[in-house]
Structure formats: structure tokens, C-alpha cells
Amino acid sequence: MIARLKADYPVFYLCQKLGVSTSGYYEWEGRDHSPRAQRRSSLTARVLGKFAASCQASGYRKVTAALHRDGIAVNRKTVASIMAELGLIPLAAVAAFKTANQRSSRTADPVDLVDRVFAQTTPGAFLVGDITYVHTGEGWLYVATVIDLASRMVLGHASGKRQTAQLVIRALRRAIATGNVPPGAVFHSDHGSQYRARSFARFCGKRGILRSMGARMQCWDNAVAESFFSKLKNERLTWLSFPSRQTAIAEVADYIDHYNHHRPHQTLGYATPAETLTRLTSPDPEAAAIPAAA
């Protein structure tokens, strides 16, 4: 109406009489009022409605399909363009972007320095580690181990009610305390968050230990650590129940002592890990032939 009468009356007068703002009228006047623009405006409202009805979960393909079900002929490119203009992004896509962004900003994981070559001859030069869990009456108990590939001896282990970076640090600290981990040793693990933690990386770096990780979702890349946990559970823990974490901790420690000093290991020619470590570290062949004390 204002457009028709503005030739005869001032715009501000017409706006005042009709109860609209002058700035609002000029904004409206500047818009494209062609049939194409009106269809675009109508589609925009419908796209927004379908996106909201999906609880912000639908992408442009699903929004297009929803419009087709309502008998509205529109192609996917138009819907995608409208959604881009409105900034309508499905929540799943937002979450995926955040995850990808976090991964891209994260320090790259170490490369595989073991490459499934588990037969080593230098004690302490290549270590493998992993975490397992034990059910108790007080909840889960998590156990971290550090195993020497040359002797297959469990050099260090730690237990706790949470699987944190500090748990694996304690296990590795105990392994180093045995004096059987030389400078430049390689520590191999999976891609668990505990082994990717900055605190664990700093701990290894300060002690000259090189970190190594196998491929993701490939248990065979850490087969020796997995094999020990299988023996621990099948030979001891599966047959027992633990009312408390403390009883489980004691049982795990007892089995590790048995494994290191009394259990013949097929890979070692049926010697024990302790006997093998003595043989590999002793400069005297005759002394090396004497089994280690239990």
C-alpha cells in the first residue's frame, strides 16, 4: 500500500498511519520481490522447519526427502544452498568436525619400532606393555605390565582402580628400577590413551626410552603382552573370585613371581624368564647355566 500511495503522500506519514517503521519499509522495499525470490523465501522457511523438526539431526539429503514427501519439488543442491546460508549443520557433523579437529591438533603417535619381531636377544632393549582388568567385589582392578622381549620376564607391573597414565608410569618405573632397562630401550604398546598421554611421553623422554606403537586395532602387533594376560587369566584368575581389590593384587603379584621364576616358557626352550635373563646377562657361561634363585 505504501508503495502505491507514496507518490501522493510522504513515506513517513504513511508508515505512521499504518503503524510500521520507516526503516522497516525501506528494508522491505530493497528486497527482491520477484516470483523466484518469493519461492526461495518460502523454501527457506520450509527447510528451517524440517531441520528443526528433526531435532537438528538431518542433513540436506534428508531435509530434501522430507520436502518431497510433502509434495514440494526441490533439488538437493537448492536445499544444501539454503542450509549453508542459514548455517544449519547437523549435530552429528558438528561432533565429527570437533573430533577430527582434536585429532589433527594432537601430537602424532609413535611409529612401530618392533614390527612384530618379538625374538630379541638383548635384555631390556625392547619392552612391551599393556593393561588388563580383573573383576573384584569392590569393582574393577586394572593391571599394567612391562615385559622384556628377550627374556619374556615381567620386569614391572602396577595395579589400581583406574586405568590412568600414572598406572603405566608406575609399571615402567618399577621395570627401570630393576636395572635391566638400558638407555635407548624401546617401549612398545597399543594406542591406549594412557600410552598417548603427555605425562607418559615426558616420563619416557626424560629417561631416554623410545616409544613405539603398533597399528590401530591390531592386537597381533602387541602379541607378547596379550599372551601374558591370557596366561594370567587362564592359569590363575579365571578360577578364583576376589572379594576386594587387595586380594586380587596379591594374587596377581604371586602369579607374576611364579611366571618369572618357576614357569617353563616354550619360546625360551622351556627355561624360565629368570633363568633366561641370567643367561643373557652373565659374562660367565658356567654361571649362566645355573638357574636363577626363586
Return the domain boundaries, the chain. Answer: 1-31, 36-105, 126-288
Quickly list DSSP for 223-283: HHHHHHHHHHHHHTGGG---SSHHHHHHHHHHHHHHHHHT--BGGGTTB-HHHHHHHHH-S
Give the Cα separation of 148 and 151 in Å (integer): 6
Q: Is the pTM of this model over 0.95?
A: no
Res 106 pLDDT > 60: no
Render pLDDT for 194-238 as a digit per residue (tens, 0 to 9).
999 999 999 999 999 999 998 876 777 899 999 999 999 999 999
Q: How does pLDDT run across 134-191, given as a tens digit for each residue?
A: 999 999 999 999 999 999 999 999 999 999 999 999 999 999 999 999 989 999 999 9
H or E stretch including 33? none
CB 162 within 8 A of CB 143: no
CATH number of the domain located at residue range(s) 126-288 in this protein:
3.30.420.10
**14 SS3 class:** helix
**CA–CA–CA angle 155, 157, 160 (5° rounding):** 175
Q: Would the pLDDT of 290 be above 50? A: no
Q: In whole angstroms, what separates CA 171 from the centre of its chain? A: 21
Spatial separation of the C-alpha atoms in residues 151 and 224, rounded to whole Å: 11
